Structure 1
Amino acid sequence: METTNDNPQFSASRRTFLAGSMAVTTIGFGMPAFAAMRAPATDPFIERLLKRMTIEEKAGQLTMNGALGIGRLVNPTTGPEPALQTTLDQIAQGRLTGLFNADDVKLGRTMQQIAVEKSRLGIPLIFAADIIHGLKTAFPVPLGESASFDAGLCERTARATAIEATAFGVQWTFAPAVDIARDQRWGRVVEGAGEDPWLGCRIAEARVRGFQGADLRANDSLLACPKHFAGYGAVQGGMDYNTADIPETTLREVHLPPFKASFDAGALTTMASFNDTGGVPSTGNHHLLTDILRGEWAFRGLVVSDFNSEKELVDHGYAADEADAVLKAVTAGCDMSIQGGLYLKHIPALVQSGRLKMAVVDEAVRRVLRVKKALGLFENPYRSLDPARMGTDIRRPEAVALAREAGRKSIVLLKNERNVLPLPKSGKALALIGPFVTDRNNALGPWMVFPDMKSAVTFEQGVRDALGAGAALAVVPGCGIERPLHGGIDAAVAAARAADVVVLYVGEATNMSGEGASRADITIPKPQVDLIDAVAAVGKPMVILLKHGRALELPNSVKNAQAIVCTWFLGSESGNAIADVLFGDHAPQGRLPVSFPRRAGQEPFYYNHRSTGRPSLVEGPPVGARYREVSTSALYPFGHGLGYSTVAYGATEIGRPRIRMGESLSVKARITNTGTAKHHEVAQLYIRIRVAEIVQPIRALKGIRHVDLEPGASADVEFTLTAQDLAYVHADTRTRTDPGAFEVVIAPNSAAGTPIPFLLAAA
């Protein structure tokens, strides 16, 4: 401890609690998060603390408020601003468990000093924030980074994020978002890993490991909070905050696995989702928060509400008033309230009236204190509150380099006719056209709470740095993001006519993706489409760069371009990362984590759908499940992505056509680089369960292999399938493997390759 309190009573009680803590906390030091929470269910230190707490102090441990807007400490003459003074008073009274989105390490340290030295029991605060894809060094948005199909990369960027966030005074991040999203109209698709549960699990567990590191008590460990529990990605119509009617089997097969993977990786917290599932809002859903989470999964961490979501139980029509909402949320298993202060306001009276049992409140408080203890806050309350780290750990050179690497590995090449890409660095006149060419404000993407806009590298800057002085380069915006510019199209057409190659940078603004940014029309805004149409009519080779936080419906002028590139929102190093790929210093290696529909009306649209009784034919008469106007196939399927060379897949081979339960199956294929450039291939393993108690997806991803190939070289990729890979959720909601007929294929995407059959026999 760095400081003491002059109050003898405080000092004695503080020493007592620390001594009690040290007596039982040999678990946790230098150990991962899950080990830190395997202490006995009854912790003497926590139990002694609970016995001394008033009901108001207990309610305070379950209450977190936002820090933005509360003001700053000012000079001693005037004192703190009123809103800040109220917060400081709450801390001194032990009526606040922590704050979120605080942006002042020194102020945070002052608040912590009040909590541990001036409050009656000295319980430390916890500081949280929505650090989704970087703090000051912005990495690609999670959906974009998931396109790398590289969990190791996601772990490294999460680790770099944790270093910056903890240097900024943040100890807990409300991330990763692990919602499986199958409807591209939903704005929060951008926060997750896309439409596939297997990929979602791998990236969820990687990000948890990266955020938290090897030791939760370390100064640079950032507590993870997988969200939103649960089923938020299935909201009807892709409309944010909407109802999600999900069968229990689908909930368990698709939406819950990434959460379980996160908890198995050591996550100690989770956030309840805004939506209701089957008519029961998640914040008050006992089946989700207690039966499944605490019962089946034995989760011992805490559940936090989403912003004011306990109050919204009233708006849902699930609770009669605020007090009833608090009663139902706490009883369901939502331990901590974010914003609104309803727990602090109503829990004492609810307990006094007998409506809420003290035992329920005590258990919620235990969970909160256990997490704080696992973070080492009782021994070191000032961890991650060192102002000196601001000068050493923010925007480290290695973090900036990693942002550039992550950016280029997230880029997906959708189309490259006549090998228009990569572009030469000399000998060609280029026209860079579109509203994002010089734009810095939309480089980072949504969910940057503390953005560093000045560090964002624009596309123009990245290109000029790549080409050097004297490059033949024209730069024309052509239009705004959602509005035309006077004379803009004429200037763009003139630039296109004078160029050898046109690069159009078009798509979505930051505010078109993220929370509250659902879109009924997932297209490029009309002023930009008018620009693209006009430039396309010039007839020059055209490269389309897409800025986006979801899969889009593409207009004909984009689909007909020679090259189409997904660049998402790539973060601080956007311009450099795009230039690295555009000019061939690095070949693209990203793969789509979401399916691109042909038309927005196909949504929800995803590759791993079930077969109907009348399966559609991609070609032929419209006799199956299909629309009159459009094919049921994806414009670009999940897993699709090109490089600057070509590859050929040999036939999928299996070790034997029949295995028994408990045995494993070897699956392999030969991949050959048939082109003239180096190539990075992402081989994907898919299975199908032919007959099941519940109809299964037509394909399901079960493995990924990254392979680097020199021109003309071949490599064998091999996977091992186990019985667990063949398991599925049955009607009784249990997951198990049945003997029967299966198919397996190794392919470059979810729509390619010829599956081969095999049988699984009973043991």
Structure 2
Amino acid sequence: MSRQSLLAGGELAANRAEGSGRLRSITAALASVLATILAVPASGAEVDERTLDDLIRRMSVADKLGQLQQFGTDGNTGELLKGQEELLAQGQIGSFINARGARYTNRIQRIAIESSPLKIPVLFGYDVIHGYRTIFPAPLGMASSWDMKAIEQASAIAAREASAAGVRWVFAPMVDIARDPRWGRIIEGAGEDPYLGSRAAAAQVRGLQGATLGEPGHVAACVKHWVAYGAAEGGRDYNSSEVSERTLRGVYFPPFRAALDAGVGSFMTALNELDGEPATVNSFTLGQVLRKEWKFDGVVLSDYQAVEQLIDHGVAKDGEAAAQMALKAGIDVEEQSEMFRKHGATLLQEGKVSQARLDQAVRRILRLKMKLGLFEKPYVDEAIEHAEILCAGNLAAAREVAGRSMVLLRNEGEILPLKPDVQSIAVIGPMAVNPQDPLGPWFADGKKEETVTLLAGIKARAAKAPNPPKVAYAKGCEAVGDSREGFDEALRVARESDVVILAIGEPSDQSGEAASLASLDLPGQQLALAQAIKGTGKPIAVVLLNGRPLTIGWVAENIPAILEAWYPGSQAGNAVADILFGDVNPGGKLPLTFPKTVGQIPLYYNHMNTGRPAGDFKYTSKYADIGNQPLYSFGFGLSYTRFKLDNLALSAKTIPVGGRLEVSVEVENVGPRAGDEVVQLYLRDEVASVTRPVKELRGFERIRLEPGERRTVRFTLETMDLGFYDRENRFCVELGRFKVTVGDSSEGGLDATFELVRR
């Protein structure tokens, strides 16, 4: 949220339509509080601007343009490409993407330090999305934990491993809000909700960067993709986005603002266009909001070849025009394409780009390098890399976070956890043995050879049982394809076992970037396999490995137990086994809505009510054939125990503008074992000057309770938690009545009301 939008004349306006006029109440006290909350914290060590001035004065135009160029290396090995070593020796490469490994980055760095005239260090960047070598659950999975400490811990471990390998700039977190699961990159974010997304974004930045930018063992984060990339039409990657300014400010901007408030070191622009302007040169989002309103003066990086792609967008006639547009729009570093280096000198000579703008961009990237301490310590200790990568502590954390990220969707008849007296277990399905799929997309330097598969994890855990059950495996079918050749073997193994663990889902290469799908059904013959196994009459528990909500209606109706595991990472098999055998009680909750069918998309919990909300009457806003109810709602998740929420209480029935409201609820574990519950608080503004969602998440807390334990959970609502963007796209808080709902998902819960009044 920007100061300009929130603060009018230094004060917050509180508005509510009353009769024919609008009531406005202004409180200087609240403005002061908001100014404090919204102040962007200073990050990093002091940078000597005079030293920067001197360095920039000594740089040639080629040196400067080199600093603005992020060169690609071999995507698999990180090896330099032809001609890059010569440019390094000339001091004309500022950063690399994909080069990694302490010994290798040190070798590259020595060329820059020992051979180039100005000895400016190189910055190594990499897509470290959910772990560097120790791979944690994919971000959508980690968001399912609703555990910000776990997310921060995973990010900190990723930073330690990456920095030990010479990588000091990571292109994460991805904080795009996504309401269309056809979009493959939905797996890289935190789902559909701006509040949960904002909390996750801040946690990731804190974990990656530490308390201050440049802290040893940490990296510079790059929040992406600015902005509305997740709103691509039809869920097709790289596609156009049409989003109103109010929706941008209220839904898509907040996670980016949260990352900025957490001190993020850089932004990456998106590949989509927005309202007719590519995000790489968008005058509103990049110029007006990010640079002017939010006053961000750090590095803005283009996405991969995004500057050159301005030609394909149809807004630049050639590479020179593309470079001019991007530089003038505020892009500081160009990733992969070389429009800046090829055309920058000509643009300067012709006066199409000013020397001041070039120097500004150079200053930003050099300042980032200084904050990271690269000028003082350009090399990394190779012994640290050996000690840090895949160490026992990192693997233990990956296993724990994976367990906290899984969501139990169904458990009829208490199929799970597996009973101690089970004598034989059939593990069936294509997702049980492939070591690549559990890593998910964008798995950085993760190795499939180091992945614990589901079958391996189940076998290892079964062997530790007092009376170890026999574990048999049959694939049944491939994840993708029409063959049913393996069905007979799978049926035989199922019939000879006491219980079946059916591992199905979507292969990891069907998720992530450039993996948009028109169908969300289980691919290949997996549904047919599930139906065949159901016919054996054996108890079945499905384990889903997938990167998006799938339309699993038949499975949800017919298979008694379903565990949503997402892509759990390096310790996938161990973490799944922990839950199947009851060593870990699942407590995750869905960070987005599961539709019954793809035709319901977009489907999200915080929708508008409409003038004819869905109901039994024909002429209401609903699908006549299937209705609006999702298969699983946002915030949903079961446990091996049961919880009861009661005694919802508000500290007052009315609060003044600038005041605060305390909300409390009692939670009791009324089931047989210890477990975690995520208590969720939602708000609804009942009457406003613009339409408001039916409810909005405004607080949550994950707690652990022993059997019979009862605890009071408390939330504090500030006045700004009640705000929204009005018709003029100004942030405001309006007087009137609000409904509070506290529950265990976005459906149902305990309700109470209060009123915001004039002070």
TM-score, structure 1 as length reference: 0.92
Q: Matched residues in 1 for 2:473 and 2:53: separation?
A: 66
Instruction: Find the residue that maps to 2:71 and give its secondary structure.
Output: strand
Q: Matched residues in 1 for 2:451 and 2:111: separation?
A: 37
AA matched with 1:116:
I
Distance 1:559 1:206, change over 3 A: same
Q: Deviations over 1:584-630 (max 9, x none)?
A: 1110010000111111111111111111111112xx24331111221
AA matched with 2:171:
F
Q: Matched residues in 2 for 1:731 and 1:666: separation?
A: 30
* Alignment map for 1:238-277 (pairs within 5 Å): 238-277=235-274
CA contact (8 A) 2:425 2:500 kept: yes
Q: Deviations over 1:697-718 (max 9, x none)?
A: 1111111112222222222211
Measured after TM superposition, the shift of residue 639 of structure 1 is 0.5
Measured after TM superposition, the shift of residue 308 of structure 1 is 0.1
Aligned: 1:442 with 2:431: no
Q: Matched residues in 2 for 1:219 and 1:406: separation?
A: 24
Aligned: 1:629 with 2:636: no
Aligned: 1:680 with 2:676: yes
Distance 1:69 1:611, change over 3 A: closer
Q: Matched residues in 2 for 1:162 and 1:645: separation?
A: 36
Name the structure 2 match of 1:665: 661
Distance 1:541 1:289, change over 3 A: same
Q: Matched residues in 2 for 1:180 and 1:214: separation?
A: 26
Measured after TM superposition, the shift of residue 565 of structure 1 is 0.9
RMSD: 1.8
Name the structure 2 match of 1:454: 449
Name the structure 2 match of 1:146: 143
Aligned: 1:300 with 2:306: no
Measured after TM superposition, the shift of residue 207 of structure 1 is 0.6
Aligned: 1:50 with 2:56: yes
CA contact (8 A) 2:77 2:99 kept: no
Name the structure 2 match of 1:723: 719
Q: Matched residues in 2 for 1:519 and 1:582: separation?
A: 30
CA contact (8 A) 1:649 1:672 kept: yes
Q: Matched residues in 2 for 1:744 and 1:544: separation?
A: 36
Name the structure 1 match of 2:559: 561
* Alignment map for 1:10-49 (pairs within 5 Å): 34-36=41-43, 43-49=49-55
CA contact (8 A) 1:546 1:567 kept: yes
AA matched with 2:657:
M
Measured after TM superposition, the shift of residue 516 of structure 1 is 0.2
Q: Deviations over 1:116-172 (max 9, x none)?
A: 232122211100000111111110000001100001100001111111111111010
Identify the match of residue 132 of structure 1 among 95, 104, 129.
Answer: 129
Identify the match of residue 159 of structure 1 among 156, 159, 166.
Answer: 156
Name the structure 1 match of 2:688: 692
Aligned: 1:466 with 2:461: yes
Name the structure 2 match of 1:17: none
Identify the match of residue 603 of structure 1 among 594, 601, 604.
Answer: 601
CA contact (8 A) 1:532 1:558 kept: no
AA matched with 1:100:
I
Q: Matched residues in 1 for 2:89 and 2:687: separation?
A: 63
Count the aligned residue pairs: 718
Name the structure 1 match of 2:5: none
Q: Deviations over 1:485-504 (max 9, x none)?
A: 45311122222222222211
Q: Matched residues in 1 for 2:86 and 2:675: separation?
A: 61
Q: Matched residues in 1 for 2:555 and 2:217: separation?
A: 48
Instruction: Find the residue that maps to 2:611 and give its secondary structure.
Output: coil
Q: Matched residues in 1 for 2:293 and 2:399: separation?
A: 41
CA contact (8 A) 2:213 2:265 kept: no
AA matched with 1:616:
A
Name the structure 1 match of 2:195: 198
Q: Matched residues in 2 for 1:96 and 1:205: separation?
A: 31
Distance 1:303 1:548, change over 3 A: same
Instruction: Find the residue that maps to 1:225 and give its secondary structure.
Output: strand
Measured after TM superposition, the shift of residue 219 of structure 1 is 3.5
Aligned: 1:220 with 2:217: yes
Name the structure 1 match of 2:20: none
CA contact (8 A) 2:130 2:136 kept: yes
Distance 1:739 1:101, change over 3 A: same
Instruction: Find the residue that maps to 1:680 and give its secondary structure.
Output: strand
Q: Deviations over 1:45-72 (max 9, x none)?
A: 1111222222111111100111226989
CA contact (8 A) 1:101 1:449 kept: no
Distance 1:270 1:569, change over 3 A: same
Q: Deviations over 1:63-99 (max 9, x none)?
A: 01112269899xxxxxxxxx64611111122211011
Name the structure 2 match of 1:491: 489
Q: Matched residues in 2 for 1:557 and 1:158: separation?
A: 34
Name the structure 1 match of 2:4: none
Name the structure 2 match of 1:420: 415
AA matched with 1:694:
V
Q: Deviations over 1:153-195 (max 9, x none)?
A: 0000111111111111101000010001111000000001111
Instruction: Find the residue that maps to 2:120 and give its secondary structure.
Output: coil
Q: Deviations over 1:537-573 (max 9, x none)?
A: 2222211111111111114144321111100000010
Name the structure 2 match of 1:398: 393
Q: Deviations over 1:631-667 (max 9, x none)?
A: 2111110100111011122142212211111111111
User: Which has the higher mean CA deviation after the structures are superposed, 128-137 or 461-470?
Assistant: 461-470
Q: Matched residues in 1 for 2:740 and 2:187: separation?
A: 30
Q: Matched residues in 1 for 2:719 and 2:200: separation?
A: 22
Q: Matched residues in 2 for 1:680 and 1:208: separation?
A: 25
Q: Matched residues in 2 for 1:693 and 1:459: separation?
A: 52
Q: Matched residues in 2 for 1:698 and 1:236: separation?
A: 24
Aligned: 1:375 with 2:381: no
AA matched with 1:465:
A
Q: Deviations over 1:494-549 (max 9, x none)?
A: 22222222211100100111000011101111311111111112222211111111
* Alignment map for 1:319-338 (pairs within 5 Å): 319-338=316-335
* Alignment map for 1:515-664 (pairs within 5 Å): 515-617=513-615, 620-664=616-660
Q: Matched residues in 1 for 2:502 and 2:236: separation?
A: 30
Measured after TM superposition, the shift of residue 731 of structure 1 is 2.2
Aligned: 1:103 with 2:100: yes
Instruction: Find the residue that maps to 1:552 and give its secondary structure.
Output: coil
Q: Matched residues in 1 for 2:636 and 2:679: separation?
A: 10
Unaligned runs of 5+ in 1: 1-32, 74-82
Aligned: 1:409 with 2:404: yes
Instruction: Find the residue that maps to 1:224 and give its secondary structure.
Output: strand
CA contact (8 A) 2:442 2:512 kept: yes
Aligned: 1:94 with 2:91: yes
CA contact (8 A) 2:680 2:745 kept: yes
Provide the identity percentage: 39
CA contact (8 A) 1:95 1:344 kept: no
Measured after TM superposition, the shift of residue 402 of structure 1 is 0.2
CA contact (8 A) 2:430 2:478 kept: yes
Unaligned runs of 5+ in 2: 1-39
AA matched with 1:44:
R
